[in-house]
A and B are shown apart, each in its own frame.
Chain A
């Protein structure tokens, strides 16, 4: 399967 990125690599933690 293709490698999967995380939401956290796009949106910063609050």
Chain B
């Protein structure tokens, strides 16, 4: 038996919106400690990784570990039937054929219940080793989304250069080229405002990435004020959005081969 309650449906809506463009169906692994999801896009270039800890839910029960295969488009459609402030409960019995999702209004005078069919999803999962990143950029997630949007008007690929001075995003295309530099701030405090950027660096590192994937990652911006971009030579770049007090979404993106 699985039962999990979140006080606000808006959080679950944002989580599903953040991954459904990259992954159409995914296995949700429920265990005593929480929920995990790992899924690659069809082309195996990007990996999405979601972790929600049990203590982030207002109620959480998982009697035995269970994997539920869910079509994310269907999940998203059902979640659209919830008001943002509704409490949401997800429930599945052992060997269930569907996931029960119910919403309760804040006044507790309206309760709706939906069922989404579960599916067997045969997908590859990968082992992600712990890595010592050479550079970690911590920046506003809104700023990240804006840069991705701006760069897409010019090119298809983006180069991220992290140095002690800051982080530079650049692109080029038929129409021309452009770059945006965010200077490193030693401390991120009130004075600097939430838009400031920090770069923790051991060695300068540079990666070239396909912009269309970053546009998908930027859909996680409503979940977190900040995003961290973690870079290491010759390995996928990791983008992390923290989900307040309960976990994170991480996206790993394989770099393009530098020409």
Interface residues of A (CB under 8 A from B): 1-14
Contacts and interface: CB of A to CB of B under 8 A. Distances in A.
A1 B156 contact: yes
The majority secondary structure among interface residues of chain B is loop
Contacts of B107: none
A13 B210 CA distance: 23
A8 B257 contact: no
B254 interface: yes
Given A2-B258, A5-B255, A6-B254, 18 more contacts: A2-B208, A4-B210, A4-B254, A4-B257, A7-B40, A7-B45, A7-B236, A7-B254, A8-B44, A8-B124, A10-B235, A11-B47, A11-B127, A11-B129, A11-B236, A12-B126, A13-B127, A14-B125
Contacts of A3: 256-257
A12 to B, nearest CB: 5
Contacts of B128: 11
Nearest to B156: A1
A8 B126 contact: yes
Interface in B206-259: 208, 210, 235-236, 252, 254-259
Given A2-B257, A14-B126, A7 B47 contact: yes
A3 to B, nearest CB: 5
Interface of B: 40, 43-47, 124-129, 156-157, 208, 210, 235-236, 252, 254-259
Nearest to B126: A11
A13 B125 CA distance: 6
A11 B255 CA distance: 13
Contacts of A2: 157, 208, 256-259
B126 A4 contact: no
